[in-house]
Chain A
């Protein structure tokens, strides 16, 4: 136990934890959306994230940027970020669509039991992750350092840099957009209706298949953005990182109350911070242990998460 390590670095552990937590939150949204509508743990969502992250790196490679490139000028940095973000979102949404079409829809048509869905999800996850592994020859791919991580300013003595601002800002922005989309748009109303009672919604004329597809696309694009932010922050990507990150994001979703959009955000940020504090207190090797311990303890005392399960039933 290193209380000194925790307290003397408290500020920085918090900010870096929040940054990582923002990425968890974005990925968690995908789990939460799909779970809210289909009552299904989309285990393959971690690979949706990886697809976006690789797409962003390969886009930069297409522009001739590799891990050693330096890019200057706010305009060109923004351009590269924006293009990569769009490509990543499309790649992730595409992967999610393919997974839904190939792996889940046939099962739904047969009214298969939930266990079958989970196993297909695991199968799809392994297959996609291995495909990326074989394609990259299991070597890490480097991303250019687009955004400088030199401290911009100090807040209560804690240095804040632009990567942190970008990551947290982008995550919050996506959240707000998603919230508006679910609560204000026509499709959003359809999603809420299916989440509440799929059969009744279908009888009322909601096209269930289309709504489900929309859910996968929305969750997928969020994961794509998360992939881009991951690249910007970590600057290296290995095919196998999705699994653990997906697991953590799922933990975050459960933490906040799965099926609950705002819960995903709070769960993500909380998980990021908690695991960083654990790293400070017990040493970095216990970080993941702490994350899972939080999950297990929470589920024992409050099985529906912090904010409770609700996509359809929430305010809205």
Chain B
């Protein structure tokens, strides 16, 4: 078993080397091809030739939209968990803040009756989520590790309970008739309609690309280096003159802002937001997705978020021995997490530096084992 794993591992490393060693134009061409593939994916004319990839139990384009939202969330959480090393178990709470901001300000069933257009509310939603990230982060970011995890989890639960129970947020009755994003075809039909999920998917995909470019630039800057130093050793970073608290807060706030954007997009597509949309399990799924893909690596987070969300949907409609696998999706999900952490704790596509760290740790002598 170990030798097979070793061989796979070295094979992967060789692949990674080849990618890094390839000429610039090859890398660009590949990247463009991958992006083009994902833009083409929701078209039935294209995906019907892809064999088993489209989901049999639900409309594939709709599934792709869900998957893309998860990818966006994974990219955002990766900043918090992967770069700054802050364990956030309540990330979905920020998604809720974003979605609810849009719902409250645009839906006719809201008490405010402002009925603002969607596009106007999106920046507001992002700003408000960022603010809530700062508000949550200021008192809690002094805590470390597990304590931070449990406090963020508690906050997410509190947001959920407030959504269920407060009169203002309408609980399970929710907000309906949330407006769609603007835009019309030449013949006057809305671009973002009810039935066609493709425009929403393309919108999210475009935003993912923009966000990734932004995050990449950020990580290659002073901010990114500060985050990594905090992740590696917070005390040492502090001693070297990194204002750790400030940068942790930054990581928290930028992660939250991305979740807020995702929430706003979700609300604009879904048309209806209620408290059932925000279960604690979702936070856990996204965290697991980031770790699964390879925390600290943007590509890893994208692959993790996409794969986890897609696999969970993919089980729908598959029957084995007369039982639908969909019923077993979370059982399988849990088992995969355990197996994954045992055999490949650094994730599918790890960050190079992180992978080296893991390798080091594995070699360290453990007393008394």
Contact = CB atoms under 8 A, between A and B. Distances in A.
B151 A108 contact: no
Interface centre among B139, B143, B338, B366 (most CB of A within 10 A): B338
A113 B362 CA distance: 10
Interface stretch (A16-24, A126-134, A159-167, A175-183): A126-134
A116 B341 contact: yes
Interface in A265-316: 283, 285-286, 288-289, 292-293, 295-296, 299-300, 303
A112 interface: yes
A48 interface: no
A134 B161 CA distance: 27
Interface in B201-230: none
A1 interface: no
Given A299-B147, A303-B142, A116 B331 contact: no
A86 interface: no
A201 B151 contact: no
B368 A206 contact: yes
Interface residues of B, number: 50
Interface in A102-148: 102-103, 106-120, 122-131, 134
Interface in A89-106: 102-103, 106
B338 A103 contact: yes
Nearest to A284: B165
A308 B287 CA distance: 29
B11 to A, nearest CB: 20
A127 B165 CA distance: 30
Nearest to A282: B165
A213 to B, nearest CB: 13
Interface centre among A107, A122, A131 (most CB of B within 10 A): A122
B337 A119 contact: yes
Contacts of B162: 289
Interface in B295-352: 295, 327-328, 330-331, 333-338, 340-342, 345
B334 A126 contact: yes
A300 B140 contact: yes
B153 interface: yes
Contacts of A115: 81, 87, 291, 295
Contact of B337 (A126, A295, A296): A126
Contact of A203 (B328, B340, B368): B368
A42 to B, nearest CB: 11
B237 interface: no
A114 B145 contact: yes
A216 interface: no
B284 to A, nearest CB: 6
B265 interface: no
Interface in B44-93: 81, 87
Contacts of A110: 345, 361-362
B146 interface: yes
Contacts of B164: 285
A300 B152 CA distance: 12
Contact of B334 (A113, A123, A199, A299): A123
A118 B87 contact: yes
B366 A247 contact: no
B150 interface: yes
Contact of A120 (B153, B280, B327, B342): B342
B155 interface: yes
Contact of A111 (B147, B338, B364): B364
Nearest to B292: A119
Contacts of B155: 292, 296
B138 to A, nearest CB: 10
Describe A's contact surface by its main secondary structure.
helix
Contacts of A109: 366, 369
A289 B159 CA distance: 9
Nearest to B164: A285
Nearest to A123: B337
Contacts of B369: 108-109, 202, 208-209
A41 interface: yes
A122 B139 contact: no
Interface string B142-184: 1101110111011101100110110000000000000000000
A254 interface: yes
Nearest to B367: A199
B258 interface: no
A101 to B, nearest CB: 12
B335 A123 contact: yes
A126 B333 contact: yes
B288 interface: yes
A204 B306 CA distance: 49
Contacts of B361: 110-113
A208 B369 CA distance: 7
Interface string A187-217: 0000000000011011100111100000000
Contacts of A203: 367-368
Given A107-B342, A120-B338, A208-B368, A288 B161 contact: yes
A114 B361 CA distance: 12
B327 A134 contact: yes
Contacts of A299: 140, 143, 147, 150-151
Q: Rank and list the top 10 A-B pairs by shortest CB-CB distance, nearest first.
A: A202-B368, A123-B337, A127-B334, A126-B334, A292-B154, A130-B331, A199-B367, A116-B345, A285-B165, A123-B338
27 contacts: A35-B146, A103-B338, A103-B342, A108-B366, A109-B369, A112-B358, A116-B341, A116-B345, A118-B149, A119-B287, A119-B341, A123-B333, A123-B336, A125-B334, A126-B330, A126-B331, A130-B331, A134-B327, A198-B367, A201-B368, A202-B367, A243-B280, A288-B157, A289-B165, A296-B154, A299-B140, A299-B151
